[in-house]
Structure formats: structure tokens, C-alpha cells
Amino acid sequence: VLTQYNTLTRQFSNNLRFRFNIREGNDFWIVFNENTNTQLDRTDPELPRFEDRVLLIKYTHSFY
């Protein structure tokens, strides 16, 4: 888990990664990224609570 705060944009960024090593040379990844706004009292323009959310699934296979 990685959490960062950007003072310029006033956003939290969260990154959650799960790696499953099926066997040597084969990996299966599940990654979840999310950017959260902290300026919810802003009126012009209003900002949503979550800027973006991404769910990524990745499979790698190494050839020897």
C-alpha cells in the first residue's frame, strides 16, 4: 500500500497492489489506484470526492 499527499493539488493518492506468483516466471497482478480530493468545501468549481479510480489486472509470462 502506498499513500501520498500532493500539497499543490490537495489530493491523496492511494495505490494498492497484490501480486500472486503462480510459479517462477509467471505473475498475476491486481492493482487499485485512487485519487481523492480534500477541498470538498470549494464552490467554484465544485470538486468530486474521488478524482479517478482505476482497477488494473495484469498477467506476465516469462519465456526462457
pLDDT in tens, 7-38: 998 999 999 999 999 999 999 999 999 999 99
Amino acid identity for residue 35 in this structure: N
Confidence of residue 53 (pLDDT cuts 50, 70, 90): very high
Place of cell 494498492: 16
Q: Give me the mean pLDDT over the 36-51 stretch.
A: 88
Q: Looking at residue 30, what is its pLDDT?
A: 98
Q: Looking at residue 28, what is its pLDDT?
A: 97
Q: Looking at residue 44, what is its pLDDT?
A: 84
Q: What angle do CA 58, 62, 63 make, to 5 degrees?
A: 145
| Sequential DSSP letters for 28-51 | EEEEEEEEEES-TT--TT---SEE
